[in-house]
Structure 1
Amino acid sequence: MNNQKFSVISDTSNYWLKNAHVPVCLIETDSEISSQTREGLSLVNIEIREGVITQIVHSSADLPSTGDIPTVDLKGGMVWPCFVDMHTHLDKGHIWERSPNSDGSFNGALDAGARDAGKYWNAEDIYRRMEFGLKCSYAHGTKAIRTHLDCFGEEVNISLEVFQTLQKEWEGRLILQPVSLVTGDYYLTQAGEKLADKIADVGGILGAVPFMSSDVDNELDKLFSLAKERQLNLDLHTDENGDPNSRVLHKVAEKAISHQFSGEIICGHCCSLAVQTPEKVTETLELVKEASISIVSLPMCNLYLQNRQDNYTPRWRGVTLLHELKKQGISVAIASDNCRDPFFGFGDHDVLEVFNMSVRIAHLDIPYGDWPNAVTKTPADLIGLPNIGRIRVGLPADLILFKGRNFSELLSRSQHDRVVLRNGGVIDTTLPDYCELDSLFQKQSL
């Protein structure tokens, strides 16, 4: 999109965006927005005053007398609220070139990631790579990010200190939330209890990767007890595999019910659900619904890692049962997960790419319905940010303006020319150059 036409609003705090196609599911208004397209879009005019959305009216309605108030005609281009990326791994990002995944498997990713952390991770390394990721996210139009941070041993002190530094530096631009990332058995140790205390001190979320094992029940009992004692929410990696006998999600739901846990529970991945029998799926979904567990799917990373074998074409897409979960009334969000690291060798922290790929991978079209909520409103609600990820009178004008006028145009051509508004002002969407990381990697190679 040509930013030049937005020069008319650079020196004013009051203007109208005219003829904007907005997914109706993202608009919250007391007045009815009618005349939807078959894709669930409505053509509206949006008034912005002092950085806040003050009016949303259908384009067919007569505009109030605008006097000298500037208007920008979007000519049907789509407008979305800023994105919410609720499951990332910023501390692992951008290490692919120095620590690639040699066989593309999940175990290969674990091994490569562990070697990289042991050899390179220090405060400067983590800071520089996380900062690079935040620059990308901000330029693409993200407003809130939840990141999982490796917290084994002394890693927790380095990771949390770097996170808190970046959280403060990006205050007002990005909302950042930390989640501890360790295996489930870690919380059975004294170090695990100390980690829970640290997460409580920084206002974070307790996270873990529980695996199916003979001790998984004890691990989950301890995890729920630690969370209840410290009034922490839970964000777990569950069943990131294609083993039909992996039913950690089912066990988490059982434990949530037995512990009468009232906090928020997010379970990510849940890949094995897609390869289980219909009877087991039904049983698990009913428990998940009863336990008020929400699901975040990471389609790009799961597509990359799951069912990868030498000289073998994958027979399934690696993702969980998005449609079935949603039909059951379970909240479902979509997020980016890893970026240019051994778990996913690609990506640019662009949630539009995440949505675009998810539509293709999981057939989120015909109809699109309210699937745009999965990267905006739904994750915002799940991570406790009810005033972002939607377009509503009275909220800050944190918007993304696309040239694509419908979903086919939006998802067919790279929207690299998008315009991002924060508090009604146009921000610089120049992406950081990969060369910014060269000095860091060159220093490490000496």
Structure 2
Amino acid sequence: MPGFPPLPTDGGGMLLHRASIPAVLTEGNLGPADADGLVLADIHIADGRIAALTPAAARPPEGALDLDRGQVWPGLVDPHAHLDKGHILPRAGNPDGSHPGAVKAVAEDRAANWSAEDVRRRFTFALRCAEANGVVAIRTHLDSQGPQAAISWPVFAELREEWRARVALQAVGMVPTATYAEEEGEALAARIATTGGLLGGNTSLPAGATMERMDSWLDALFRLAMRHGLDIDLHVDESGDPRAATLGPIARAAIRHRFPGRVTCGHCCSLAVQEPDAADRVMDLVAEAGITIISLPPVNLYLQDRVPHRTPRWRGVTLLHELRARGITVLIGGDNCRDPFYGYGDHDPMETFTDAVRIGHLDKPIADWPTTIAARPADWMGLPEHGRIRPGAAADLLLFRGRTMDELLSRRRGPRLVLRNGRPISTELPDYRELDDIF
């Protein structure tokens, strides 16, 4: 690719000289970081792994490939996706762009079209996009209500095995929280336990339901998770209505049950429009319960506060800085892609991160925020082999021409090389026309 030194393709060995690496994504002492949090290093690769990581030599070592301060990141990790519903937009549009409109459009398309072959085709297309963008691991939510669980979970299990050496996959059952208090929820939990996934769903309050009712459903969910030894990953408060907020009740349920597993809450949009004192109390509970928060800035920006013929008044994202200030783990995920919830996206965490920096003011300083799409989701998902550039790790790397953060984040999907086990792979994205026949 123009601008990059030619790389050997045999995976044997190479030395990447003058690589700018986010210091928070490395291990060891590579010297002081610059204002962008970058350190200049030499990356020694042998037999598909990182053999050594050293401060950049003053002069190019013999045979070194000089990156001229271009950034190098580890393979990226997306902790929140919907690969089962991706790319249905051509046949399932959202007429008003609203969250209720998306829910209705997806439900209709799922009932009419989500056969095993349909899910497999779109899921595989999404994985090919992600791999070309440098993704090494994804946690996806799977719509699991009614008969769909028996369709999508076997497809997921097959694709997880097929892609095991390329993209590590995890799955979360996606149903209304009330389902876990019913026989269907018991059966779904057993299926998920057998497949190796997580319990999850949407904690929105149905019309007429009380918060006490939600507490009973959460109790049923936590009891099932403990019985089967499963972690929990929920869609929470994906609205601008703080009166129906469930993040606090979830935290209290985790504390009440002394839950030994991991709890993840995605979205948490309405936290940003709560009264400051109320938001503080909720965040204190989240910290006490050890819950991790996943923000989905582009999708929440797109859906929240959408009113026809009126400009939105808020950005839809949760309180990223305030959560982090309490020591709460905050991750950034891609969420939906080319479906009624979000008509855009390309399974590229770097694009998501670029948007998140702008939407959430994550610069000044950017400091630790690169961990949100690499090291921290890898750790949270139990994938310690991913997310960092360190000696002994697989040489799964992204090479960029951008030397500084402003250069890197100014060009959407600018030039990049993707290495897997030290070998360059194709970064060519699949053509949307490949899916035309299913529409």
TM (normalized to structure 2)?
0.97
The equivalent residue for 1:444 is: none
Amino acid at match of 2:332: I
Say whether the 8 Å CA contact 1:101–1:343 is kept in structure 2. Answer: yes
Deviations 1:236-262 (A, max 9, x none): 011000002122110000000010001
Deviations 1:148-188 (A, max 9, x none): 00101110010011111111111200100010000011111
> Unaligned 5+ residue runs, structure 1?
442-446
| Secondary structure of the corresponding residue to residue 109 of structure 2 | helix
Say whether the 8 Å CA contact 1:23–1:40 is kept in structure 2. Answer: yes
Amino acid at match of 2:248: H
Say whether the 8 Å CA contact 1:178–1:205 is kept in structure 2. Answer: yes
The equivalent residue for 1:21 is: 20
| Secondary structure of the corresponding residue to residue 99 of structure 1 | coil
Superposed, 1:2-401 pairs within 5 Å as 2=2, 5-7=5-7, 9-11=8-10, 13-29=12-28, 32-60=29-57, 70-212=63-205, 213-214=209-210, 215-401=213-399
Amino acid at match of 2:198: I
CA distance in 2, matches of 1:415, 1:184: 37
| Secondary structure of the corresponding residue to residue 28 of structure 1 | coil
The equivalent residue for 2:420 is: 422
Amino acid at match of 2:218: L
- What is the CA-CA distance between 1:3 and the residue it aligns to? 7.8
Name the CA shift for 1:266/1:60 in 2 (closer, same or farther; >3 Å).
same
Identity of aligned residues (%): 49
Name the CA shift for 1:4/1:304 in 2 (closer, same or farther; >3 Å).
closer
Say whether the 8 Å CA contact 2:351–2:413 is kept in structure 1. Answer: no
Give the number of aligned pairs. 434
- What is the CA-CA distance between 1:12 and the residue it aligns to? 5.7
CA distance in 2, matches of 1:41, 1:209: 38
| Secondary structure of the corresponding residue to residue 182 of structure 1 | strand
Name the CA shift for 1:167/1:11 in 2 (closer, same or farther; >3 Å).
closer
C-alpha RMSD of the superposition: 1.3
Name the CA shift for 1:3/1:202 in 2 (closer, same or farther; >3 Å).
farther
Deviations 1:388-439 (A, max 9, x none): 1111111001100001111111011233421001111111111101111012
| Secondary structure of the corresponding residue to residue 280 of structure 1 | helix
Amino acid at match of 1:25: V
CA distance in 2, matches of 1:12, 1:24: 25
CA distance in 2, matches of 1:94, 1:20: 36
Amino acid at match of 2:85: K
| Secondary structure of the corresponding residue to residue 410 of structure 2 | coil
CA distance in 2, matches of 1:140, 1:218: 42
CA distance in 1, matches of 2:44, 2:434: 38
CA distance in 2, matches of 1:77, 1:352: 15
- What is the CA-CA distance between 1:56 and the residue it aligns to? 1.0
Amino acid at match of 1:144: A
Name the CA shift for 1:157/1:286 in 2 (closer, same or farther; >3 Å).
same
Deviations 1:32-57 (A, max 9, x none): 22132111111111100101111111
Name the CA shift for 1:183/1:5 in 2 (closer, same or farther; >3 Å).
same
Say whether the 8 Å CA contact 1:404–1:415 is kept in structure 2. Answer: no
- What is the CA-CA distance between 1:323 and the residue it aligns to? 0.4
Is the deviation greater in 103-112 or in 241-250? 241-250
Name the CA shift for 1:181/1:369 in 2 (closer, same or farther; >3 Å).
same
CA distance in 1, matches of 2:249, 2:391: 42
CA distance in 1, matches of 2:311, 2:65: 49
| Secondary structure of the corresponding residue to residue 284 of structure 2 | helix
CA distance in 1, matches of 2:369, 2:50: 23
Say whether the 8 Å CA contact 1:81–1:391 is kept in structure 2. Answer: yes
CA distance in 2, matches of 1:325, 1:359: 16
CA distance in 2, matches of 1:176, 1:190: 27
CA distance in 1, matches of 2:197, 2:279: 31
CA distance in 2, matches of 1:174, 1:12: 19
CA distance in 2, matches of 1:155, 1:2: 46
